Amino acid sequence: MFSLDGKVALVTGSAKGIGRAVADVLEDHGALVFGSDIAPGEEKTGQGPLLQHDVTREEDWTRVFAQIAAQAGRLDILVNNAGIILNKPFLQTGLDELRNIQRINVESIWIGMQQAAPLMAEGGGGTIVNLSSIYGQLAGPMQAAYSATKGAVRMLTKGVAVEFARGGLGIRVNTVHPGPVETDLGLSGLTPAIAAGRFADLDAAKAFVAASFPMGRWANTGDVAGAVLFLASDASRFMTGTELTVDGGYSIL
């Protein structure tokens, strides 16, 4: 059920962090994986260099899907992973900053799902996994803008899941909701607290956060990639519009 042999996948934002781990795990399970990023760097996937792709740009999506169609002839899996965070108090956050994070975290997924659907449907269907966050389910200090976008991803996914299922497209759409993951993005949330003198250094801040999780540690990127693999594979074949939380038990307290 977890085999992805013969499947073709696109993982956005896969130059590093969670996207990198997801691309690796999908490839390990047999998929032909295309990776893309706004800053592709030297990283490679099974298909060679990462594709240059700013997920806020419709024309970039069109070019990336055209390239995948030309090289692989189909698309079975789309992982909308690219995203940013904004660790800032609500009263100090400008509307321009909200609009920027909204474009990168939400509008990108809107465009990606709209453009992926015809290519997936042509090949008999597919599965889309959208990266939300526990901040799409819960509140946190300095996360108002980020939460607004991740909550939007959660409900956008459910809305599209209904239409794709009822429309008989054979495309499932689900969200993954990680708690803090040890990546550049995940660790950036600690910077304001360290700057304010709440913690002596990064290690002290990391230990404090780890202790607040029932499982006692941060997630690593592989923890999240396993959940994405499940939703990308036939192991989740009767699941659509669902939300899978990967947070070491944080949200059950």
Ligand X SMILES: NC(=O)c1ccc[n+]([C@@H]2O[C@H](COP(=O)([O-])OP(=O)(O)OC[C@H]3O[C@@H](n4cnc5c(N)ncnc54)[C@H](O)[C@@H]3O)[C@@H](O)[C@H]2O)c1
Residues that bind ligand X (CB under 6 A): 12-13, 15-19, 37-39, 53-56, 81-85, 104, 131, 133, 178, 180-181, 183-186
Task: Give me the residues paired with residue 8 across strands.
Answer: 32
Token pair in block for residue 20 = 């990198």
Q: Looking at beta carbons only, is 169 or 251 nearer to ligand X? A: 251
| Least distance (Å) between residue 28 CB and ligand X | 18
CA distance 152 to 158: 10
| Least distance (Å) between residue 228 CB and ligand X | 10
| Least distance (Å) between residue 161 CB and ligand X | 18
Q: Please say if 146 is a catalytic residue.
A: yes
Q: Looking at beta carbons only, is 119 or 176 nearer to ligand X? A: 176
| Least distance (Å) between residue 8 CB and ligand X | 19
* Backbone angles phi and psi of 216, in degrees to 5: 75, 10
**CB 199, CB 205: distance < 8 Å:** yes
Q: Looking at beta carbons only, is 59 or 184 nearer to ligand X? A: 184
Chain centroid to Cα 102, Å, comes to 14
Q: Which of 146, 213, 218, 230 is catalytic?
A: 146
CA distance 247 to 229: 16
Cα–Cα separations (whole angstroms), residue 66 to 41, 63, 215, 231, 250:
22, 5, 43, 25, 41
Cα–Cα separations (whole angstroms), residue 221 to 48, 57, 71, 80, 228:
21, 26, 28, 15, 11
Active site residues: 146
